[in-house]
Chain A
Amino acid sequence: MELVKIIGIAFISVILIIILKQYKPEFAIYVSIISGILILSLCFTQLEVVVNLLNSIYEKTGINGEFLKILLKITGIAFLTEFGVSICKDSGEAAIASKVDIAGKITIIAISIPIISSLLETVMKILP
């Protein structure tokens, strides 16, 4: 049921954008941003269920949840970066889109430093 609503919203906003593009292209970008936000917020409810399930599984198994936190952060950053990149590409600004993409990658690497260091430690332990 949710998917049908999302597809409906997408079609309506596409038609609105086509109408607006002839007269005022600036408003077309606004409509595409708003429809993107609307569709994302609709699918956030299912996403929340998945994240809560992951959290509960992690608590049960007792593996330190710190890695899961970092993983979730990375997914969130990738999520937002992709949102920004696609909006910039839509409006024809590929240069800005690639800058946002690079910035997202850098933040992801910066956040995943603890994982890399702990991986190195475990490898060092295994090696004689």
Chain B
Amino acid sequence: MDINLLFKIAAIGILVAVLHQVLVRAGREDQAMMTTLAGLVIVLTMVIKEISTLFDTVRTIFNL
């Protein structure tokens, strides 16, 4: 849970953007959409894990 998670997400974002452009140029728009969605889902699972850790820490600190 530190800075390289931020870099990992940014790297995935840029990678998906490049893949999207390449696939669109190659004429496969649907696969481009698939890769974007796949990238989104992967990053979403990582973000949700981090959000749940944040909620747990807040719950323990403020004993909600």
Residues of A in contact with B (beta carbons under 8 Å apart): 9, 12-13, 16, 19-20, 23-24, 26-28, 30-31, 33-35, 37-38, 40-41, 44, 47-48, 51, 69, 72-73, 75-77, 79-80, 83
Contact = CB atoms under 8 A, between A and B. Distances in A.
B47 A41 contact: no
A68 to B, nearest CB: 10
A34 B12 CA distance: 14
Interface residues of B, number: 32
Contact of B13 (A20, A41, A80): A20
Contact of A37 (B13, B43, B51): B51
B62 A38 contact: no
6 contacts: A12-B3, A16-B10, A34-B47, A37-B51, A38-B6, A79-B58
A28 B22 CA distance: 21
Interface string B9-53: 110111011001000000000000000100110011001001101
